[in-house]
Structure 1
Amino acid sequence: MSRERAIAVIDSGVGGLTVAREVMRQLPEERIVYLGDNARCPYGSKSPDEIRTYSFQMIDFVMKTPLKALVIACNTVTAVALEDVREYLPLPVIGVIEPGARAAVKATRSGHIGVIGTETTIRTRAYERALLRVRPDLTVSGLACPAFVPLVENHMADTEEARRVVRETLLPLAGEELDTLILGCTHYPLLAPVIQEVMGDRVTLISSAEETARELAELLGPQPAAVPSGTRVAAPEHLFVTSGDPDRFRSIAEEWLGCRVQAEQHSLLEKTYQP
């Protein structure tokens, strides 16, 4: 694979930055094109047809850049449109649900796993199916948390309001004897400290980001040979695009990625994909 081709990471907003950060860590020489559809976020309460339409608008945009792979860093899009996208694109496409499920199966001791996600992700039972394919004897408890994404998108993850909302939302899981909880939306790791505080130390939180990046690395195969020791190599110039407010996006991205981010704003055009 040529270094000139980029890895595209798409999400409904800033949540996919959790995946992008892990890709940057595991594949530091790869260039990333990140697109967040913040203007129409959240996706979790939208119809499957809307989700597919918005997803392919994002895909048509990032395909203007020569790509080597696409990461759908959105659980809702993965649950609704992953197979459609794989049929549409002539390049490797990775979602976040299967990697997250595998990581949870490795982590659980009791065999009782919780899943929190958007309304659509929970309604499709995509995580439950993925988990049971790996280990049919599991007990899976799902809970939709529609209030979480707006907290993250509005840069409110570290506020008392976020703590209140998380406590109230996760109350139905309080009596469950689960030991592993999948953060089934890529926005949710930005709320991880609060979620951990509410669920307690006995519960292991699972984000799919690390496993997704690992699968991407394996899919791309052997990377280009290392340059000779002492040779200075320019860091890849990542591109970050949002359909929403670029200043808000930049603030969250810089905080989460720990580096300077240049964010461009783009209004997504009508999709060319026809199902």
Structure 2
Amino acid sequence: MHNAIAVLDSGVGGLTVVKEVLRQLPQEKVIYFGDTARTPYGPRSPEEVVLFTRQIVDYLTQFEPKMIVIACNTATAVALEDIRSRVEIPVVGVIAPGARAAIKHTRRGTVGVIGTEGTVKSRAYEYALKEISPQLEIVSLACPTFVPLVESGQFLSDHAKETVRITLEPIRRFPLDCLILGCTHYPFLTGAIREGMGPDVTLISSAEETAREISAILYHRGQLAKADRTPVHQFFCSGDPVMFKQIACAWLEKYMDASPVVWQVPTIV
């Protein structure tokens, strides 16, 4: 039965999207795959990212999900259309929802984007933003040190705060009122990023908007789960299961208590 929402990411970053899905759609079953053995995707070639994304999707299709969510900005930027052409179920990315949220919040029309090298190089956010609002000024900055901080569980440390502060210096010179966290790992660093950017800059995470899009698509397809059963979520990672589970449990907290969870470490390559 096509009953689960399958969510994939290069590591733990997609858990920020999962958290919003569990909050907004608590009756839905989630199957999550974090490619922690091969993270980060940002420095990799587009060909590699497409290959990895295909492998994960091929693995997840055995569970017959009703939707696939590419909760990774780098993979969304280079692999979204490829995956859409390969499967018959809806495939949702995180870039368009994030762009829409930024347009809704900006007042001055100057939007900042921080992301991985791959996402920034692809200019995917710039294209998505300007397609809707051509007059916007876009300032982008690659932050390659952020994902390793999150994947190693250091996102609340003093080292993380200092790294974020130094990394964001070049973008602070611009009159931004809105900053897109163009990597699903970055909400783990929200406190440090907010401190680094100051109170006048609104931080935009695509997670909330992505969950809304998931809800709307499932509603229109008549595929929203019934509230008469407790979903059993499944979480997979390709790397260290101890660190992955530790970060997932800390981030998802009460949602982990509300539903049974199955943890597995599969081999996909």
Deviations 1:162-216 (A, max 9, x none): 0111011101011110000000000000000100001001000000001001011
SS at 1:182's partner residue?
strand
Q: Deviations over 1:76-110 (max 9, x none)?
A: 00000100110001000000000000000000010
Alignment of 1:48-67 (within 5 A): 48-67=46-65
Contact 1:108–1:179 (Cα < 8 Å) also in 2: yes
Please report the TM-score for the alignment, with normalisation by the length of structure 1.
Answer: 0.92
Match of 2:23 among 15, 22, 25: 25
Partner of 1:126: 124
Flag as ranges the 4+ runs of structure 1 deviating above 2 A: 222-227, 259-263
Tell me, what secondary structure is at the counterpart of 1:122?
Answer: helix
TM-score of the pair, normalised by structure 2: 0.94
Amino acid at match of 1:148: F
1:73 to 54, 71, 74: 71
CA distance in 1, matches of 2:226, 2:242: 36
Map Cα deviations across residues 12-48 of structure 1 (whole Å, 9 max, x no partner).
0000000011111111111110000000000000001
**What 5-or-longer segments of structure 2 have no aligned partner?**
none
Unmatched runs of 5 consecutive residues or more in structure 1 = 228-232, 270-275
- How far the C-alpha of 1:223 sits from its partner, in A, is 5.5
RMSD of aligned alpha carbons:
1.3
Amino-acid identity (%): 53
One-letter amino acid of the counterpart of residue 18, structure 1: T
* Alpha-carbon displacement from aligned partner over 1:107-134 (angstroms, at most 9, x marks no partner): 0010000000000100010000000011
Query: Is residue 143 from structure 1 mapped to residue 146 from structure 2 by the alignment?
Result: no
Please say if residues 101 and 127 of structure 1, whose CA atoms lie closer than 8 Å, have aligned partners that are also in contact: yes
Question: Post-superposition shift, 1:226?
Answer: 6.1
Structure-2 residue corresponding to 1:9: 7
Count the aligned residue pairs. Answer: 262
Q: Is the helix fraction higher in 1 or 2?
A: 2
Structure 1 counterpart of 2:268, which letter?
Answer: L
CA contact (8 A) 1:250 1:262 kept: no
Paired letter, 1:243: S
* Contact 2:9 2:33 survives alignment (8 Å): yes
**26, 43, 59: which one pairs with 1:45?**
43
How has the CA–CA distance of structure 1 residues 146 and 20 changed in structure 2, closer, same or farther, with 3 Å as cutoff?
same
2:170 equivalent to 1:186: no
In structure 1, the residue matched to 2:263 is 263
Alpha-carbon offset, residue 234 of structure 1 = 3.8
